[in-house]
Chain A
Amino acid sequence: EPEVTQTPSHQVTQMGQEVILRCVPISNHLYFYWYRQILGQKVEFLVSFYNNEISEKSEIFDDQFSVERPDGSNFTLKIRSTKLEDSAMYFCASSEVAGFQPQHFGDGTRLSIL
């Protein structure tokens, strides 16, 4: 069964540094998403991406964050000037069609900011 893959599985970074989280969505999927889950809290939507542009973003997704699809397979989340409160699991997801189709999640990147 096709999978969403994410790298790295764990990223440890000093506060103030930039990190790039990488995702390879399922190949025939057209819609891509990033979510995050702070330890002990619920999964929260960050951003959706379609046709090479952001289609929706949450209040969390401020100027510190950006997304990119640099080639035909990768989908990245960049976090600039990381803060302690950015520590969380970051999940990438993709879906073939938006709306009624379920989204399939990668196994996540655990981001630890020191």
Chain B
Amino acid sequence: RKEVEQDPGPFNVPEGATVAFNCTYSNSASQSFFWYRQDCRKEPKLLMSVYSSGNEDGRFTAQLNRASQYISLLIRDSKLSDSATYLCVVNYAGGTSYGKLTFGQGTILTVHP
């Protein structure tokens, strides 16, 4: 089983649409969770951290279900500039580990006019 698994995508949506991405992780001892976005051939950029209580940042809402080891990202009112690859990222830090990030393979989102 992959450590971090995401929807295969790609997602192709019109401007203004709502789109949801899902992600599961296998290490139940994982401690922190993030969504990053990556534009073509660029570095991963932090979109938002994900908290157990759920959190929102403008049009973006992230949810975490530790019992199911499941993370989601909801994007409302999609913009052309949201077109990117969305990376589900999990961080395990404990014992001798100082925060190795484990990435999903990414889900490609294309928002069209």
Report chain B residues within 8 Å CB of A89.
41
Minimum CB–CB distance for B88 against chain A, Å: 10
How many interface residues does B have (CB within 8 Å)?
A: 26
A82 at the interface (CB under 8 A from B): no
Report if A50-B98 is in contact (Cβ < 8 Å); known contacts: A42-B103, A42-B105, A42-B106: yes
Report if A105-B32 is in contact (Cβ < 8 Å); known contacts: A31-B98, A55-B97, A95-B99: no
Q: Is B43 in contact with A106, judged by CB distance below 8 angstroms?
A: yes
**A97-110 CB contact bits vs B (8 Å, 1 = yes)?**
01111111111101
**A80-114 CB contact bits vs B (8 Å, 1 = yes)?**
00000000010101010011111111111010000
A75 at the interface (CB under 8 A from B): no
How many interface residues does A have (CB within 8 Å)?
A: 29
A43 at the interface (CB under 8 A from B): yes
- Name B's A-contacting residues (CB within 8 A): 31-32, 34, 38, 41-46, 49, 87, 91, 93-94, 96-106
